[in-house]
């Protein structure tokens, strides 16, 4: 529910927050253009990222991403 209320969000900088995953709901932020996830502990990205048609930059450095799920 919280993520769905962020429909106008275009920049989402969550660098260095020790995140281990992203919720599937991330794909419901239609205007998201920049997603900064660098320096976290993410291993799997949700397939819902494919729904982000406006996404121009996805920063994933310093994570252990292996696949989409």
The answer to whether 60 and 39 are in contact (CB under 8 A) is no
Q: What is the pTM of this model?
A: 0.85
- What pLDDT digit, counting tens, does each position of 3-50 carry? 556 778 999 999 999 999 999 999 999 999 999 999 999 999 999 999
CA distances from 3 to 27, 55, 64 (A): 9, 16, 24
Specify the pLDDT at position 4.
57
Specify the pLDDT at position 33.
97
Give the CA diameter of the chain.
29
Specify the pLDDT at position 2.
53
């Amino acid at each position: 529910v919280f993520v769905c209320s962020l429909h106008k969000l275009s920049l989402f900088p969550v660098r260095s927050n020790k995140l281990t995953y992203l919720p599937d709901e991330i794909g419901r932020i239609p205007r998201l253009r920049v997603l900064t996830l660098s320096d976290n502990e993410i291993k799997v990205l949700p397939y819902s990222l494919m729904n982000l048609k406006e996404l121009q930059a996805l920063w994933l450095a310093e994570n252990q991403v292996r696949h989409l799920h």
